[in-house]
Chain A
Amino acid sequence: MQHDITSSAAPGGDKPLPKFIRRSLVALSINDPRLTEKASACEADAIVLQFDKLSGSDWQQELRARMPAAIHSAARAGAEVFVRIARNAAIAELDAAVFSGLTGIVLTGVSGSAEVRQVCDHLARIEERRGIARNCLEISIDVDNPAAVWHSLDIARASPRFGMLIVNEQALCVSLGMQTQPQLAFDPLEYIKSQLITVALAAGGQAVGMSYPLGLTGQQVEDATLKKAVRRARDTGFKGAMCPHVSWVAACNVGFRPSDDEAAYYRKVIEVFAEGLKRGMASVPLDGKMVDVPVDVRAKLYLQWANRAAARDAEKARARAASS
């Protein structure tokens, strides 16, 4: 799935919210012999491929040989496919791992905007060299260190390819010298998460993360607990989460979108407000709450969001059916 990421306008001229329907992201290794099987069974909106560089081998050559097939396998069930690239070896890894079929890369270990600009320039060369449409490859950032948080706005604005800020809670806690076992009654990264959400949206992308403590532990938990955690993450402004277990995927796909009840309410808001406008009123009551322009705008945007999420689910279902 490729599109020109420098164009964010949706049909009709309005910017869609969220920019991408990426509710669930799953990391899979290209070295995993069951990659095809796992990817086919996975209902994630996006798969992030990662690889091991085996010592003693020509890892670049090996990667070049394996990546096209791995990307194809990962995309079988309709997921967007990314590849994780380490900033400190970015050029070599990009040359070996970026091929047609990828939506973009997830860059780890970023500490400043210059690094992103360098990667952006190199992606342009790879796009040209490998026949990939110009400006199609996205750059998302794995926020895994304090410098990435501090410079997040510059980093997100460094390239028109910017897609997502992905909060890597465990890495952040380690690099901040914090406990990686959740022992607090509050989220110690609450401010950082809010900052990254705000920055990502301001820069035209979106943030990926989970609420405390699941974002840190990545545990498998019972459905009700997971559902509540996803809801809180969505109410904070995250648009999706990295899923450490396949069990999270369904909950994220359902939770990081307006529910059916919410969509029904938005339809009611739109209807009531339109009727009010006909009577010359810009503020009308609905169930004890006031419906005015921003409420109407929100209802329209969020209803569009619900519809886009449903369309994405249908798209993935078709891909799964075609590949089975």
Chain B
Amino acid sequence: MNNRVARCVMFVTPTNPRFIDKAWTRGGDVYILDIEDSIAPAEKQRCRTLIRESIEKANKGGASIFVRINKPFVDADLPYAVWPGVDRIMLPKTETAEEMKHAHAIVSRLEKERGVAPGTIELYPMIESTLGAVNIHEILTAIPRRVHSMGGAGGYDMAVSLGIEMFADFDQYAFPVAYVALAAMALDIEAIGAVFVPNTSGRVDQADQAAKQAAALHAAGIHQAGALHPNFIQPLVSGLSPTAEETDWAKRVIEAYEELTDAGESVGELAGKVIDKYEYAAAKRTLEWTAQCAAKDAYKRRAMKRAQASESSPGSGMS
């Protein structure tokens, strides 16, 4: 499965059948099975026991699966989170390298016990405090395992750490966002990016807000975004995919630049724009992203078709 394409990363609560059973029909690229903030303390244990079956429910439509655990309950949560089919485990409020080492040791042991190839499951330190932000480099380099990084450290928890009210009409996270993103880039670690888009209403269910966010991220070359409401899924998936015009332009740039280099030139012009090695590299990235999105979409279509057939077949057990 291509788990690198994560245009929309949607949180779902395993304890709520209304959300988990329908998740696969929504078309998200990734579902996060949450044991953290969307789960009440009294429901945590029941939620843990539902993770394994929720993986199969949520990925029926071809989505990748992440699990978000609780910072205070790492030891208790991880045995319920490490299973075949889990691509990434999210470690909220990570602040030190020691936390990464601790989680890595447990995940490595569980992978071995459960037949998951060693190192398959990525760890994702979520930077949600000022301390996590300033320690980002040591956090990202703490363990011999693939890690994913936040491209920007904002959100509710960071707001609380900073002692601010979020949803102001200006960027309140200038340093933590840039610093955390830069650390990931310097280490060549893939990161979810962030671009400031005003949302003074604080609402998380408005599709037009999702479309604005997607447009801003897309313009910044960022291909991933998170969602708390299903209304965000389609605007993000479509808004973060390359457009036909972008793909066509990329093909023309590549063709024009290769013709240039064949002729011993390195700089030329296409439709009034300068074409050089930088434009060529950007065009190649666009085509790579186009191919990755197409592969993910095709995978999701096939999975969706199988799931729909299974749902409608007699004896499927589903109404």
> Given known contacts A153-B134, A198-B130, A202-B134, is B162 in contact with A282 (CB within 8 Å)?
no
CA distance A290 to B203 in the complex (A): 8
- Residue with the greatest number of chain B CB neighbours at <10 A, chosen from A17, A195, A198: A198
Q: Which residue of A lies closest to B15 (CB)?
A: A280
Q: Does B234 contact A (CB under 8 A)?
A: no
For the residues of A in contact with B, the DSSP-based class is helix
A293: chain B residues at CB < 8 Å are: 36-37
Report Cα–Cα, A10/B81, bound state, in Å: 35
Q: Is B1 at the interface (CB under 8 A from chain A)?
A: no
- B160 in the interface (beta carbon within 8 A): yes
Other-chain contact of A235, B13, B129, B168, B176 (Cβ < 8 Å): B168
The number of chain A residues with a CB under 8 A from chain B is 39
Q: Nearest Cβ distance between residue B90 and chain A, in whole angstroms?
A: 15
Q: Does B42 contact A (CB under 8 A)?
A: yes
Given contacts A153-B134, A197-B162, contact A191 B172 (CB under 8 A): no
A154 to B168, CA, bound (A): 30
Chain B residues positioned under 8 Å from A201 (CB to CB): 130-131, 161-163
Judged by a CB distance under 8 angstroms, whether A298 is at the interface is yes
Say if the beta carbon of B159 comes within 8 Å of chain A: yes
A217 at the interface (CB under 8 A from B): no
Query: Chain A residues with Cβ under 8 A from B165's Cβ?
Result: 235, 262
* Contacts between chains A and B (CB distance < 8 A), count: 98
Q: Is B41 an interface residue (CB 8 A)?
A: yes
Min CB–CB distance B196 → chain A (angstroms):
12
- B157-194 to A contact mask, C-beta < 8 Å, 1/0: 10111111100101111111011000000000000000
**Residue on B with the closest CB to A157?**
B134
Q: How far is the CA of A193 from the CA of B176 in the complex (A)?
A: 11
A312 contacts chain B at the CB level, 8 A cutoff: no
B172 close to A235 (CB less than 8 A): yes
B41 to chain A, nearest CB (A): 7
Q: Give the chain B neighbours of A234 by CB distance below 8 A.
A: 164
Q: A194 to B173, Cβ gap below 8 A?
A: yes
Min CB distance, B162 to chain A, in Å? Answer: 4
A199 within 8 A of B: yes
Asked if B175 and A197 make an inter-chain contact with CB atoms under 8 angstroms apart, the answer reads yes
Q: Among B37, B38, B173, which residue has the most Cβ atoms of chain A within 10 A?
A: B37
Query: How near does chain A come to B295, taking the closest CB pair, in angstroms?
Result: 34
5 nearest A-B pairs in the assembled complex, by CB-CB distance: A194-B175, A282-B40, A194-B174, A294-B156, A202-B130
A/B interface sample: 22 pairs, CB < 8 A? A153-B134, A190-B174, A193-B174, A197-B130, A197-B162, A201-B130, A202-B129, A202-B131, A202-B133, A206-B163, A237-B172, A239-B163, A277-B40, A277-B41, A280-B43, A282-B37, A282-B39, A289-B203, A293-B37, A298-B159, A298-B160, A305-B163
Interface positions of A (Cβ within 8 A of B): 17-18, 153, 190-191, 193-195, 197-199, 201-202, 206, 232, 234-237, 239, 262, 276-277, 280-283, 288-290, 292-295, 297-298, 301-302, 305
